Amino acid sequence: MGQLVVNGLALGSIYALVALGLLMIFNTVQIVNFAQGQLLMLGAFIGISGAVTHELPIATAWAITMAAMALVGIVFMALVYFPLRGRPPFLVILTTIAMGIVLENLALIIWGPLPVSLPSPVRGAPLRFLGVVVSMHQLFTFATLAAILLLQYILLTKTRFGILMQATAQDLHTARLVGIPVSRTIAVAFAFGAMLSGIAGLLVAPIFLAEPTMGGSLGLKGFVVSVIGGFGNLPGAVIGGLFLGLIETFGARYISSNFRDAYAFIVMIGVRVAWPRGLFGENSSAKV
């Protein structure tokens, strides 16, 4: 029982990280990136290329991955979002889905279809406490999530950049009119969002192994979490992620593991019907 809680929370932390990456982009351009899972996969494979193929120290591999993902985020924005500014949002949903297909198949061509493992950045014997085993990697995952949450909270609410983001989200044209560097703000948001999903990828790969097709379901979980917590809501994304991790772990154990992926959607539809703006409210400036 206690073990299930720990495993559920560890899984949920990964979902929360995906959702935090989505949030970064959503809070700036009010667009949901449907390729977030594929960006995660890309992060995992860049890490593997560094740490396994080229045998770099794991910390160096992490640094390279984060820098590379920031760059990927900017290219991603230039291809998928930038040409479609001001057009109906569902076109951007489609271009992000198309970009997800491109990334997934490029990864299949480059790295092949076989699952690969990435070593965890932390070593050491797992902690045992009242019969519950917590691995060092799980602890590291919780710590990373907490650190990123804190960082993102400060960035969004206490810094000048957070205000620029908010202004861009509320009204792109007015923001530009009052001298806000809109394009740069959007580029930074995409870079940061891609970097967060890259980190999530580096954390997933030691547990589940990395394969090019892993992105689809993880990306979808990120949206489910965002829907449960309320899109663009920082604590909502984290609590929603942990909640979904617990639901899946317990559902798989006590109901049926065949329908593991369905619980997320059932919970999501339930939350939508009962609390249309998510459990913690939506951060949306769009006029309804």
Q: Which residues bind another protein (CB under 8 A)?
A: 32, 34, 79-80, 83-84, 87-91, 93-95, 97-102, 104-106, 108-109, 216, 220, 223-224, 227, 231, 258-259, 261-262, 264-266, 268-269, 272-273, 276, 286, 288
State which residue, 22 or 167, has the beta carbon closest to another protein.
22
Residues 135 and 157: their CA atoms lie apart, in Å, by: 33
Minimum CB distance to another protein, residue 96 (Å): 9
Say which amino acid occupies 47.
G
State which residue, 101 or 143, has the beta carbon closest to another protein.
101
Minimum CB distance to another protein, residue 27 (Å): 14
State which residue, 180 or 253, has the beta carbon closest to another protein.
253
User: What SS3 string covers 17-46?
Assistant: HHHHHHHHHHHHHCCCCCCHHHHHHHHHHH
Nearest to 282 by CA among 248, 239, 236: 236
Minimum CB distance to another protein, residue 179 (Å): 28
Q: Where are the alpha helices (DSSP H) in 77-88?
A: none
State which residue, 173 or 258, has the beta carbon closest to another protein.
258
State which residue, 54 or 87, has the beta carbon closest to another protein.
87
Say which amino acid occupies 235.
P
Kind of pairing between the strands at 127-129 and 132-134: antiparallel
* Residue 43 CB burial class (10 angstroms; 0-12, 13-18, ≥19): buried
Minimum CB distance to another protein, residue 131 (Å): 33
How does DSSP classify residue 34?
T
- Asked if residue 272 lies in contact with residue 221, where contact means CB atoms within 8 angstroms, the answer is no
Q: Name residues whose C-beta falls within 8 Å of residue 244's C-beta, 6 or more positions apart in sequence.
A: 12, 15, 221, 224, 225, 228, 264, 267
Minimum CB distance to another protein, residue 52 (Å): 22
How does DSSP classify residue 124?
S
Q: Which two tokens stand for residue 179?
A: 């001298």
State which residue, 78 or 151, has the beta carbon closest to another protein.
78
Minimum CB distance to another protein, residue 89 (Å): 5
How does DSSP classify residue 210?
B
Minimum CB distance to another protein, residue 160 (Å): 28
For 134, the 3-state DSSP assignment is: strand
Residues 72 and 69: their CA atoms lie apart, in Å, by: 5
Minimum CB distance to another protein, residue 75 (Å): 13
State which residue, 250 or 265, has the beta carbon closest to another protein.
265
- Asked if residue 155 lies in contact with residue 26, where contact means CB atoms within 8 angstroms, the answer is no
State which residue, 119 or 281, has the beta carbon closest to another protein.
281
